[in-house]
């Protein structure tokens, strides 16, 4: 039930939120009754006194000291209104600072075109900062090398759970990396739209069509700097590039639930089709499916025979087109 961080905007700390919710769920309780249900180390009596002083809790009339919560719509209205005012003023201040940033030199246009971020940690921090500021959509071109260890998709999942749409085009090498397909499946389950191409020209993070980050490779296996693009004309060009690649790329779908009875074979085939469309070698497919090399070859041969396909890629396309609509 509790969302302690959510009520921080109303000026309540974690103990105060817990006590307020406790009183809501146990109306007209005495202090001893509240203390029996209290599970935190802070003294509940002191916390309740703080809430009472701030108008979140009242003491009912009667011979016993019983406590009741004030209607949250009433108790939280004023502090939240104050917070919204602070947020509005903060946004106005940010706008002023941004204007100063853009006009800090006589050559203001050059200052707003791009900024260069150096250092792997600084690049990752800048990307994360822009991602968490997204409101409309994040579009990505994903290919090695990676700024962080492969398999760490927590940030992307958190953004998807917040309701920020995300479309990603993966280069085949991203899916081919050990564990790469599993990471993509985690993101697909969280709501990401994903497609794959044999090659993509660059790494790209495009946020709300307002900012773009292009990580730069100084060495084949590392990213040590990035260009952050703000200029509308360049952003429009990068957006057009992404949409063109998106139209050409092959969709990646989430496999059916392997826990469903009788679905194991179709799950394996669905993943096999995805990997075939990605253009992976038989060896790479075997690693992703945790199967033997010869077993994978037999699966592919059987699929090609059943579909009358002459090539592995043709088999993948035909199988994808023949999948029931519910699985797409």
Mind listing the domains of the chain with CATH numbers?
Answer: 1-104 (1.10.10.10), 119-252 (3.30.870.10), 264-327 (1.10.10.10)
Q: What is residue 153's predicted lDDT score, i.e. its pLDDT?
A: 60
CA 45 centroid distance within chain = 40
Mean of pLDDT values over 291-303: 81
Q: Count the neighbouring beta carbons within 10 Å of the beta carbon of residue 30.
A: 13
pLDDT band at 4 (very low <50, low <70, confident <90, very high): low
* pLDDT greater than 60 at residue 324: no
Mean pLDDT of the chain: 78
3-state SS, residue 60:
strand
Which two three-digit tokens encode residue 38?
Answer: 């209290």
pLDDT digits (tens, 9 = 90+) for 262-295: 444 444 666 777 777 666 777 777 777 777 878 8
* pLDDT greater than 50 at residue 150: no
Q: How many CA atoms lie within 13 A of 64 on its CB side?
A: 9
Mean of pLDDT values over 16-40: 91
What percent of the chain stands above pLDDT 70?
76
* pLDDT greater than 50 at residue 261: no
25 backbone dihedrals φ, ψ, rounded to 5°? -80, -15
Q: What is residue 105's predicted lDDT score, i.e. its pLDDT?
A: 43
* pLDDT greater than 50 at residue 75: yes
Q: What is residue 3's predicted lDDT score, i.e. its pLDDT?
A: 56
Q: What is residue 152's predicted lDDT score, i.e. its pLDDT?
A: 47
On whether the CB atoms of residues 139 and 212 are closer than 8 A, the answer is no
Q: What does the chain come to in residues?
A: 328
Q: What is residue 268's predicted lDDT score, i.e. its pLDDT?
A: 60
Task: Select the more confidently predicted residue: 307 or 157.
Answer: 157
Contacts of 192 (CB under 8 A, 6+ apart): 156, 160, 166, 167, 168
Q: What is the DSSP letter of 150?
A: T
* pLDDT greater than 80 at residue 169: yes
* pLDDT greater than 60 at residue 2: no
Strand blocks (E) in the chain: 29-30, 57-60, 66-69, 114-118, 138-142, 166-171, 193-197, 204-207, 211-216, 225-229, 250-252
Mean of pLDDT values over 39-67: 89
Instruction: Of 148-152, 171-175, 182-186, 310-314, give the lowest mean pLDDT range.
Output: 148-152
Instruction: Of 18-32, 148-162, 190-204, 289-303, give the lowest mean pLDDT range.
Output: 148-162
- Radius of gyration, CA atoms only, the chain: 27
Q: How many Å apart are CA 61 and CA 48, to the nearest integer?
A: 17
Q: What is residue 267's predicted lDDT score, i.e. its pLDDT?
A: 40
pLDDT digits (tens, 9 = 90+) for 90-140: 877 777 776 666 555 444 455 457 788 888 888 888 888 888 888 889 999
Q: What is residue 258's predicted lDDT score, i.e. its pLDDT?
A: 43
pLDDT band at 9 (very low <50, low <70, confident <90, very high): confident
Q: What is residue 85's predicted lDDT score, i.e. its pLDDT?
A: 82
Q: What is residue 65's predicted lDDT score, i.e. its pLDDT?
A: 86
Q: Count the neighbouring beta carbons within 10 Å of the beta carbon of residue 81.
A: 11
């Amino acid at each position: 039930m509790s969302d302690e961080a959510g009520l921080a905007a109303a000026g309540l700390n974690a103990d105060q939120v817990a006590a307020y919710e406790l009183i809501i769920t146990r109306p007209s309780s005495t202090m001893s009754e509240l203390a029996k249900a209290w599970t935190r180390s802070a003294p509940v009596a002191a916390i309740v006194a703080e809430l009472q002083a701030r108008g979140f809790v009242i003491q009912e009339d009667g011979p016993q000291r019983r406590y009741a919560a004030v209607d949250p719509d009433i108790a939280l209205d004023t502090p939240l209104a104050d917070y919204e005012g602070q947020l509005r003023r903060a946004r106005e201040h940010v706008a002023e600072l941004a204007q100063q940033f853009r006009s800090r030199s006589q050559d203001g246009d050059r200052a707003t075109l791009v900024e260069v971020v150096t250092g792997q940690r600084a690049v990752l921090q800048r990307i994360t900062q822009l991602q968490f500021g997204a409101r409309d959509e994040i579009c990505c071109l994903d290919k090695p090398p990676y700024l962080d260890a492969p398999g760490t998709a927590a940030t992307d999942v958190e953004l998807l759970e917040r309701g920020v749409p995300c479309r990603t085009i993966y280069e085949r090498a991203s899916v081919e990396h050990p564990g790469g397909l599993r990471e993509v499946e985690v993101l697909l389950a969280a709501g990401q739209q994903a497609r794959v191409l044999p090659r993509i020209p660059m790494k790209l993070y495009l946020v709300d069509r307002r900012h773009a980050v292009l990580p730069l490779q100084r060495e084949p296996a590392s990213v040590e700097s990035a260009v952050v693009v703000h200029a509308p004309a360049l952003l429009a060009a990068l957006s057009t590039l992404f949409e063109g690649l998106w139209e050409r790329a092959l969709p990646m779908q989430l496999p059916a639930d392997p826990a469903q009875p009788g679905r194991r074979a179709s799950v394996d085939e669905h993943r096999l089709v995805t990997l075939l469309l990605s253009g992976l070698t038989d060896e790479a497919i075997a690693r992703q499916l945790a199967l033997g090399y010869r077993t994978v070859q037999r699966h592919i041969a059987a699929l090609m025979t059943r579909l009358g396909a002459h090539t592995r890629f043709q088999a993948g396309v035909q199988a994808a087109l023949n999948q029931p609509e519910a699985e797409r």
